[in-house]
């Protein structure tokens, strides 16, 4: 059973560019959350998707947007990249029906470097 | 709102010594509590969790943690650490029925031979 997968593993972009990160949830999971982990900090919640809609959002600007597809996979898009967007981006999946956070599984992350 | 404070950013310890990593949280509602471990260049792995019941919870790799509601703490302990325990440890809280984590800033455990 594949766990949560993310692609790409690493990414280098320049300021002002746009980036798309991808996440495939664990088999059977239908909810995807995205977190940003800046260097030396704990992960910060960006947003969560369920039934192809964003239903929770953390304190992140509109430059951060997402999408969930019918197969439950998800994308995180960041526009007009800033140096401060350099971070490890983590995806976590869970099953809505359980409504229990301990069922969340994290992917290995995508390391984004903005130059 | 919930917040998590990990009081030590780095903890150096010798192999086979005991260790305690401290975590305090603030919340106006009941929460679930978690400890995650992150090895270099990897994602987060769940060590243990407190949902309800016994306040002493045991996790993987010999770690345990005790929930103290009056002190709003959830400290992580291991009686004898190994070199392989060198990693960063994150404390996190989540509200019941709310699949969103609030993480602390992390504690880097450095086990020396």
The CA distance from B110 to B112, in Å, is: 6
| pLDDT score recorded for residue A112 | 97
Percentage of chain B surpassing pLDDT 90?
70
DSSP A35-69: EEE-TTS--EEEEEEETTEEEEE-S--TTEEEEE-
Q: Which of A44, A99, A111 sits opposite B97 (nearest CB)?
A: A99
Inter-chain CB proximity B99 and A42 less than 8 Å: no
Whether residue B29 is predicted with pLDDT greater than 80 in this model: the reply is: no
At B63 the pLDDT is 96
Closest Cβ–Cβ partner in A35, A45, A102 for B32 = A102
Which pLDDT belongs to residue A1? 63
C-alpha–C-alpha distance, residues A101 and A10, integer Å: 27
Judged by a CB distance cut-off of 8 A, whether residue B94 touches chain A is yes
- Is the Cβ of A44 closer than 8 Å to some Cβ of chain B? yes
Residue A98's pLDDT is 63
Q: Tell me the residues of chain B between 1 and 40 that have a Cβ less than 8 Å away from chain A.
A: 4, 6, 32, 34, 36
Closest-CA residue of chain A to B93: A101
CA distances (Å), B71 to each of B27, B33, B47, B68, B74, in order?
12, 14, 22, 6, 9
pLDDT at B98: 65
| pLDDT average, residue stretch B25-50 | 88
- For chain A (115 residues), the mean pLDDT of every run of 10, in chain order, is 89 97 93 93 93 90 96 97 97 76 83 97
A48 touches chain B (CB under 8 A): yes
Q: Which residue of B has its CA nearest to A93?
A: B99
Contact between chains at A101 and B46 (C-beta distance less than 8 A)? no
């Amino acid at each position: 059973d594949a766990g949560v997968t993310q692609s790409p593993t690493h990414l280098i972009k320049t300021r002002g560019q746009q980036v798309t990160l991808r996440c495939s949830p664990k088999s059977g999971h239908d909810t995807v959350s995205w977190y940003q982990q800046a260097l030396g900090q704990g992960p910060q919640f960006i947003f969560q998707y369920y039934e192809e809609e964003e239903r929770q959002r953390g304190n992140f600007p509109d430059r951060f947007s997402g999408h969930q597809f019918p197969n439950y996979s998800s994308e995180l898009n960041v526009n007009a990249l800033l140096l401060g967007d350099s971070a490890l981006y983590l995806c976590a999946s869970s099953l809505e029906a359980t409504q229990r956070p301990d069922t969340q599984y994290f992917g290995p992350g995508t390391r984004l470097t903005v130059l | 709102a919930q917040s998590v404070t990990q009081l030590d950013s780095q903890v150096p310890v010798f192999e086979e010594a005991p260790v305690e990593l401290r975590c305090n949280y603030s919340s106006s509602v009941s929460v679930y509590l978690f400890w995650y471990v992150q090895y270099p260049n990897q994602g987060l792995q769940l060590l243990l969790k407190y949902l309800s019941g016994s306040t002493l919870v045991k996790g993987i790799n010999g770690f345990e943690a005790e929930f103290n509601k009056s002190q709003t703490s959830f400290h992580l302990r291991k009686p004898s650490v190994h070199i392989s325990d060198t990693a960063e440890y994150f404390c996190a809280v989540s509200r019941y029925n709310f699949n969103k984590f609030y993480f602390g800033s992390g504690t880097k455990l450095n086990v020396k031979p």
